[in-house]
Structure 1
Amino acid sequence: MVGNRSRAAIVSDRRITGLSAEVIAELVSEVGPLWHERHQARLESRPRKRAVGAGAKHRLVFVDRLLATLVHLRHGATHDVLACWFGVDRSTITRAIGEVRPLLAARGCTITAGVRLRTLARPSSGQTGIIDGTEIRVRRPAAGRKDREKFISGKNKQNAVKAMVLTDASGRLLFCSPAQPASCADITHARRLGLVKHLAGGPAVEILADAGYQGLGAQTGGRVVTPPHRKFKKNPPDWYEEIYERQRKAHSSRRIRVEHGIAHLKNWRALARHHGRREHMSDTIQAVAGLLSHQQTATHGPCQPH
Structure 2
Amino acid sequence: MIDDHGCVVGNATRRAIIGDRRIIGLSAQVIAELAAEVAPLWHERQQDRLASRPRKRAVGAGVKHQMVFIDRLLATLVYLRHGVTHDALACWFGVDRSTVTRAIGEVRPLLAERGCTISPDVRLRTLAEVVDHLGTTGKTGIIDGTEIRVRRPAVGRKDRDRFISGKNKQNAVKAMVFTDGDGRLLFCSPTKPGSCADITHARESGLVKLLADGPAVEILADAGYQGLGAQTGGRVVTPPHRKFKKNAPDWYERMHERQRKAHSSRRIRVEHGIAHMKNWRALARHLGRREHMDDTVQAVASLLSHQRTMDLIPAEQTCDHQAPPRPSTSHR
Give the TM-score taking structure 2 as reference length.
Answer: 0.89
- Correspondent of 1:180 among 163, 183, 192: 192
Match of 2:141?
129
Q: CA deviation at 1:241?
A: 0.5
Q: Contact (CA 8 Å) 1:44, 1:52: kept in 2 or not?
A: no
Q: CA deviation at 1:127?
A: 1.9
SS at match of 2:202: helix
Q: Contact (CA 8 Å) 1:163, 1:180: kept in 2 or not?
A: yes
Match of 2:244?
232
Match of 2:178?
166
Match of 1:26?
33
Q: CA deviation at 1:40?
A: 1.1
SS at match of 1:200: helix
SS at match of 2:154: coil
Match of 2:289?
277
Give the 3 Å change call, closer, same or farther, for CA 38–201 of structure 1 in structure 2. closer
Distance 1:175 1:301 in 2: 21
Q: Contact (CA 8 Å) 1:83, 1:90: kept in 2 or not?
A: yes
Distance 2:65 2:274 in 1: 37
Q: Contact (CA 8 Å) 1:270, 1:284: kept in 2 or not?
A: yes
Taking every aligned residue pair, what percent have the same amino acid on both sides? Answer: 81
1:60 maps onto 2:72 in alignment? no
- The one-letter code of the counterpart of 2:89 is L
Q: CA deviation at 1:202?
A: 2.8
Deviations 1:124-181 (A, max 9, x none): 1532010000000001111111211000101111100000000010111110001110
Distance 1:222 1:44 in 2: 52
- The one-letter code of the counterpart of 1:240 is Y
Match of 1:90?
97
Match of 2:219?
207
Match of 2:113?
106
Q: Contact (CA 8 Å) 1:43, 1:52: kept in 2 or not?
A: no
Deviations 1:98-145 (A, max 9, x none): 110011111111111132111112331532010000000001111111
Q: CA deviation at 1:46?
A: 2.0
Q: CA deviation at 1:75?
A: 0.4
Deviations 1:231-264 (A, max 9, x none): 0001001110010000000000111000000000
Q: Contact (CA 8 Å) 1:166, 1:258: kept in 2 or not?
A: yes
Q: CA deviation at 1:51?
A: 1.6
Distance 2:306 2:22 in 1: 16
SS at match of 1:242: helix
Task: Tell me the matched-pair count.
Answer: 302
Distance 2:109 2:145 in 1: 22
Q: CA deviation at 1:49?
A: 2.6
1:72 maps onto 2:84 in alignment? no
- Correspondent of 1:191 among 184, 188, 203: 203
- The one-letter code of the counterpart of 1:43 is L
Q: Which runs of 5+ in 2 are unaligned?
A: 1-7, 315-332
Q: Contact (CA 8 Å) 1:138, 1:275: kept in 2 or not?
A: yes
- The one-letter code of the counterpart of 2:163 is F
Q: CA deviation at 1:2?
A: 0.6
Distance 1:280 1:202 in 2: 32
Q: Contact (CA 8 Å) 1:74, 1:269: kept in 2 or not?
A: yes
Distance 2:37 2:19 in 1: 19
SS at match of 2:252: helix
- Correspondent of 1:219 among 212, 231, 243: 231
1:260 maps onto 2:276 in alignment? no
Q: Which consecutive aligned stretches of 4+ in structure 1 deviate over 3 angstroms post-superposition?
A: none
- The one-letter code of the counterpart of 2:15 is A
Match of 1:247?
259
- The one-letter code of the counterpart of 1:119 is T
Q: CA deviation at 1:17?
A: 1.4
Distance 1:45 1:51 in 2: 15
Q: CA deviation at 1:198?
A: 1.3
SS at match of 1:52: coil
Match of 2:310?
298
- The one-letter code of the counterpart of 2:266 is R
